[in-house]
């Protein structure tokens, strides 16, 4: 068990990856603040710690004073805030760039010792994808005001409650086919949420991580087609067709789908699928943090396999 980290503020701590991190932080005895737009929904997470150890607070991340108050006297700040698609009042630029900059600026002003910024593989301020460009701009803004920040860039993240495997598992059960966007050639290197959370814990405790950027990928890369084939077998529907959807058709379809509630597919996501989502090899990764990546075959069946009987 690591030593207590004092006060740790986890922006986005209510989310999928955040829950894994908060559980680990709680074991260290840290006092954990979780700023959220919906603090009432964070209540179940409080049971991960002792009474009063985990405190959800309401936040508007566009408000300088509110962000400054949240990070005051903190020893560490972790920013996990991110979105996959914009919604009313929650755009990529505001959430993944401006809010990241505001939180890092406030943490620097408060004298916070450690800052961890959760970015994503492919983050690039010059990208034609709004998701990737806002992640890249967010990284640069954080570095500019908090040079010692540790930036973590995961590939797609798996674990109970994830977006990718649950979503395609559900689609496999209800649709006659699964869409192989762009032929399914895009490569991914799925990484376990527990390993990402362990990486955050190392980043908080090991001063040699200061100022570095890490790319987090699992033990091997898979094509999109291999992943969908795996999903249909695990979901108990191995006969579901995998139907190629060329990029222009997928873009056209996304034009309509992004008008639906929850935006099941957006043109920006189709743009992202044109690039591989695997570690580059030019930046340090999980093994440099002393973490052996967990194979998805060990974890995904525990939540995707249909119940017996």
Ligand X SMILES: NC(=O)c1ccc[n+]([C@@H]2O[C@H](COP(=O)([O-])OP(=O)(O)OC[C@H]3O[C@@H](n4cnc5c(N)ncnc54)[C@H](OP(=O)(O)O)[C@@H]3O)[C@@H](O)[C@H]2O)c1
Among 49, 154, 184, 285, binds ligand X (CB under 6 A): 154
Structure tokens at 19: 């829950």
Which range binds ligand X by CB under 6 A, 9-17, 104-112, 249-257, 298-306? 9-17
Between 236 and 264, CB nearer to ligand X: 264
First CA to last CA distance, the chain: 41
188 binds ligand X (CB under 6 A): no
37 binds ligand X (CB under 6 A): yes
156 binds ligand X (CB under 6 A): yes
The CB-of-163 to ligand X minimum distance in angstroms stands at 6
26 binds ligand X (CB under 6 A): no
The CB-of-278 to ligand X minimum distance in angstroms stands at 12
Among 49, 82, 136, 179, binds ligand X (CB under 6 A): 82
Q: SS3 letters for the chain? A: CCCCCCEEEEECCCCHHHHHHHHHHHHCCCEEEEEECCHHHHHHHHHHCCCCCEEEEECCCCCHHHHHHHHCCCCEEEECCCCCCCECCECHHHHHHHHHHHHHHHHHHHCCCEEEEECCCCCCCCCCCHHHHHHHHHHHHHHHHCCCCEEEEECCEECCCCCHHHHHHHHHHHCCEEEEEHHHCCEECCEEHHHHHHHHHHHHHCHHHCCCEEEECCCCCEEHHHHHHHHHHHCCCCCCEEEEECHHHHHHHHHHHCCCCCCCCCHHHHHHCCCCECCCCCCCCHHHHCCCCCCHHHHHHHHHCCCCC
220 binds ligand X (CB under 6 A): no
- Kindly report the backbone phi and psi dihedral angles of residue 207, in degrees, each rounded to the nearest multiple of 5, phi listed first: -65, -15
16 binds ligand X (CB under 6 A): yes
- Of 85-104, which residues contact ligand X (CB under 6 A)? 90, 95
251 binds ligand X (CB under 6 A): no
Between 27 and 167, CB nearer to ligand X: 167
81 binds ligand X (CB under 6 A): yes
Between 68 and 83, CB nearer to ligand X: 83
265 binds ligand X (CB under 6 A): no
23 binds ligand X (CB under 6 A): no
User: What's the rounded Cα separation, in Å, for the pair 78 and 221?
Assistant: 28
The CB-of-209 to ligand X minimum distance in angstroms stands at 17
User: What's the rounded Cα separation, in Å, for the pair 111 and 52?
Assistant: 24
80 binds ligand X (CB under 6 A): yes
The CB-of-279 to ligand X minimum distance in angstroms stands at 12
Among 18, 49, 194, 293, binds ligand X (CB under 6 A): 18
138 binds ligand X (CB under 6 A): no
Which range binds ligand X by CB under 6 A, 64-72, 76-84, 168-176, 268-276? 76-84
Among 61, 76, 200, 278, binds ligand X (CB under 6 A): 61
Are 205 and 267 a contacting pair, CB within 8 Å? no
- Interface residues with ligand X (CB under 6 A)? 12, 14-18, 36-38, 61, 80-83, 90, 95, 118, 120, 154, 156-157, 163
């Amino acid at each position: 068990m690591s030593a207590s980290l004092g006060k740790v503020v986890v922006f986005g701590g209510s989310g999928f990856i955040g829950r894994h991190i908060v559980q680990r932080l709680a074991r260290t005895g840290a006092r954990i603040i979780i700023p959220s737009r919906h603090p009432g929904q964070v209540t179940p997470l409080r049971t991960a710690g002792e009474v009063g150890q985990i405190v959800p607070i309401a936040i508007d991340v566009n408000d300088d004073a509110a962000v400054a108050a949240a990070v005051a006297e903190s020893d560490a700040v972790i920013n996990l805030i991110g979105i996959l698609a914009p919604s009313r009042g929650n755009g990529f630029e505001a959430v993944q760039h401006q809010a990241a900059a505001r939180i890092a600026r406030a943490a620097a002003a408060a004298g916070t010792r450690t800052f961890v910024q959760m970015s994503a593989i492919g983050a690039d301020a010059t990208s034609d994808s709004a998701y990737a460009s806002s992640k890249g701009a967010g990284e640069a803004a954080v570095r500019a005001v908090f040079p010692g920040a540790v930036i973590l860039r995961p590939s797609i993240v798996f674990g109970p409650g994830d977006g990718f495997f649950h979503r395609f598992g559900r689609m496999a059960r209800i649709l006659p086919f699964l869409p192989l966007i762009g032929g399914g050639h895009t490569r991914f290197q799925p990484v376990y949420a527990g390993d990402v959370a362990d990486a955050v814990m190392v980043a908080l405790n090991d001063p040699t991580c200061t100022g570095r950027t890490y790319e987090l990928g699992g033990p091997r890369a898979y094509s999109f087609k291999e992943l969908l084939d795996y999903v249909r077998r695990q979901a108990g529907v191995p006969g579901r067709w995998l139907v190629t959807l060329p990029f222009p058709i997928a873009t056209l379809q996304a034009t309509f789908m992004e008008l639906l509630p929850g935006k099941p597919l957006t043109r920006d996501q189709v743009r992202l699928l044109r690039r591989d989502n695997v570690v580059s090899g030019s930046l340090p990764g999980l093994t440099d943090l002393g973490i052996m990546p967990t194979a998805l075959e060990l974890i995904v069946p525990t939540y995707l396999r249909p119940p017996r009987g």
